Structure 1
Amino acid sequence: MFTRRSILAGSAASLLAAPALGAAPKKTALPKGFVAVENGRLVLDGKPYRFTGANLWYGAWLGSPGASGDRARLKRELDRLKALGVTNLRVLGAGERSPAKVAASPTFQEAPGVYSQDLLKGLDVLLAEMAARDMKAVIYVNNFWDWSGGMPAYLNWVGNGPWFQQGDPAHPWPEFADYSARFYGDQKANALFRRYLTGLVGRQNTVTGKAYRDDPTIMAWQLANEPRPAGSQAFGDKNLPAYYRWIEEVSTIIKTLDPRHLVSTGSEGDMGCLQSEACVVQAHKPATIDYLTLHIWPNNWGWIDPKTQPATYDAGEARCRDYVRRHIALAKSLNKPLVIEEFGLIREDRAFAPGADATHKDRFYKTIYGLALDDMKAGGPIAGTNFWAWNGEGRAQHPDAWFVQGDKSFVGDPPQEEQGLYGVFDTDTSTKAVIAEHAAAVRAL
């Protein structure tokens, strides 16, 4: 466990000891079980590390001994995922109290420096249960979006405002993205974030007794969920230096505290980088960033129209294929691995219910899996995929399918959207079959 005092002390020490920004981390012999990078590929114990993964942002919430917790369900969900062949989970290791009406509750940080020991214990439990199932974790420690607090919450805490909720009609896009991206250059907000980050990376698991930095269950620390430099080109032109500097500084802090684990950005690719491949390359150049990440959201990006999905699917899928191919080329140019760590598509007629028609959703999963598998077979940079997201036995609790603070039946769809919009339920037979088939193909490589 860590206290506010220990975090402050640790933060100061780590900053004083930090190497030059972007400097290559010291090469140290890794104990067995740690994922590493060799020759532009992920490796585990001397062999290529390839995986079929999922997003399970709420894992720590289920593991918590507090009001949100359901350890029995957590074990069931992990068992279901393991049975499908899923061996890698991307999970949320942070959360800040947000004024947003649709935001995760409870949170890791209820106020600046006020930390939830229940959720921290929940993360300990999650890692221990994953270790028992030979799974690896990618832990992201901030969020560009306000559904878990994230960067807007930090800005609100330090008075950098006025704060407004994502989707507020009084602040049309790209105002929210430009607001959230102020975070990178706000020193007061970053001081609060780094204090939490330092304590988390330096934490000792209360279940296993193992320091996080010594735990091979963790594959990587991730700077944030979908950190964007801006929403508009005008603000982005001014903000890019702060964005690049933030990536270098935070990744350097993590590598100083924990040189054994990988670090990634959590970027969507060029759609989250002002639609600029040059931005993606620059953001992933530092030696303290070990691999590239890629998110693919054709419905959200207007490539496949949710209202006319069957008619617009083919053209949208073609754009997705091109998007993956272009980012494979970027990864090769940097000689770094690539993980497709988020992808999703709605069910037919935008249905939220378990078992609803998933014809195009399943086809989309097959497309992404096929691209990944082909690249793996060719010895390319793609190491794995994490679909968004696992709902499991979670269900929407209200007729309109929206999350309400206090709900405990968490699903993979975050509170900012309808519960069931993209996630995979435990009864989604056809989609589960697609996942299992791909996992078997990856294991057979």
Structure 2
Amino acid sequence: MMMRSGHYLNNEDDFFYDSIVKGYYNNHMKTVLTRVNSFTGIAYKDEPAIFSWELMNEPQCQSDLSGKSIKSWVSEMAAYVMSIDRNHLLEVGLEGYYGKSTPEKQVVNLSYEVGTGFIANNSMLASHMLILPPFISFPINDETTEALFGERWIKSHMEDSASVLGKLLMLTEFGKSSRSPGYQVAVSDAYFSNIYDTLYSSCASSSDGVCGAGGACFWQVMAPGMEDWGDGYEVFLEQSPSTMAVVVKQSRRLSL
């Protein structure tokens, strides 16, 4: 495959191996991190309005299911980003699957193998970094089965985040698509509530005060006028009072 620059790659997984491509990546990150905010006059690397950086959205390497290639890439790129910016949280952008380095944990996954490892890859980041494994509605047709899977998925990652990695976990990208057959707002609200309840109860019942949850962000809030950008998972809170009530309930009990 040919890149726009004229550089040739054997396949898309060369992104993680090719020295020229890694150089492109570093140049891109440096440009972003050192860009000056036109409103505040502060470089992004020093901008307090920025919460965190993500190395890549859902990296996968099908040519190396051991997870070693992604682990090496994460180690190299995280070090580069942190050499420029030590002010912000940094996360990998993983989907959260357990890899071959922790075979006893793979039962928590669905049947996917993508060449990553939740524990191995996240252990490469400094201890203060935040973990953000996405959790969007998985292709499970039965609501009860999906709820049980989701509860096990969340609790397993929370426990490992707290006891193994020593980091907070931000649960992201969960939702129900309005484009799915039989979609109902009430079902979506119940889905959100179940996830929020699992997070809250796991922390509230922790006997040693250790909780791996840092928060949760569903996919995705949009403002009026952005309808054309929707992908089926969009939520317009102004138009969804019942969903707003679910979010407000979670926010209030977390603030207590």
CA distance in 2, matches of 1:424, 1:250: 34
- CA offsets 1:339-379 (integer angstroms, 9 cap, x no match): 1022111248547xxxx731211111001111222234334
* Length, aligned pairs only: 238
CA distance in 2, matches of 1:156, 1:373: 48
Q: 2:130 aligns with which of 287, 291, 303?
A: 291
- CA offsets 1:47-106 (integer angstroms, 9 cap, x no match): xxxxxxxxxxxxxxxxxxxxxxxxxxxxxxxxxxxxxxxxxxxxxxxxxxxxxxxxxxxx
- CA offsets 1:88-128 (integer angstroms, 9 cap, x no match): xxxxxxxxxxxxxxxxxxxxxxxxxxxxxxxxxxxxxxxxx
TM-score of the superposition, structure 2-length normalised? 0.81
CA distance in 2, matches of 1:390, 1:272: 31
1:430 aligns with 2:249: no
2:104 counterpart residue number? none
CA distance in 2, matches of 1:218, 1:371: 28
- Aligned residue runs from structure 1 range 43-442, under 5 A: 157=5, 159-160=7-8, 180-230=12-62, 235-237=63-65, 240-270=67-97, 275=113, 279-288=117-126, 290-298=129-137, 301-303=138-140, 305=141, 312-331=142-161, 332-347=163-178, 349-350=180-181, 357-377=184-204, 378=206, 379-396=210-227, 409-411=228-230, 413=231, 421-425=232-236, 426-442=238-254
1:292 Cα deviation (Å)? 2.1
Residue pair 1:348, 1:357 contacting (<8 A) in 2 also = no
CA distance in 2, matches of 1:344, 1:369: 12
Distance 1:204 1:280, change over 3 A: same
Residue pair 1:155, 1:189 contacting (<8 A) in 2 also = no
- CA offsets 1:162-195 (integer angstroms, 9 cap, x no match): 8xxxxxxxxxxxxxxxx54431112222222211
**Tell me, which stretches of 5 or more residues in structure 1 are unaligned?**
1-151, 163-178, 306-311, 397-408, 414-420
1:428 Cα deviation (Å)? 1.8
**Tell me, which stretches of 5 or more residues in structure 2 are unaligned?**
101-111
Distance 1:325 1:194, change over 3 A: same
Residue pair 2:54, 2:93 contacting (<8 A) in 1 also = yes
CA distance in 1, matches of 2:30, 2:116: 30
CA distance in 2, matches of 1:291, 1:256: 17
Percent same amino acid at aligned positions? Answer: 20
- CA offsets 1:18-52 (integer angstroms, 9 cap, x no match): xxxxxxxxxxxxxxxxxxxxxxxxxxxxxxxxxxx
1:395 Cα deviation (Å)? 4.9
Residue 160 of structure 2 aligns to a residue in which SS? Answer: helix
Distance 1:349 1:260, change over 3 A: closer
Residue 250 of structure 1 aligns to a residue in which SS? Answer: helix
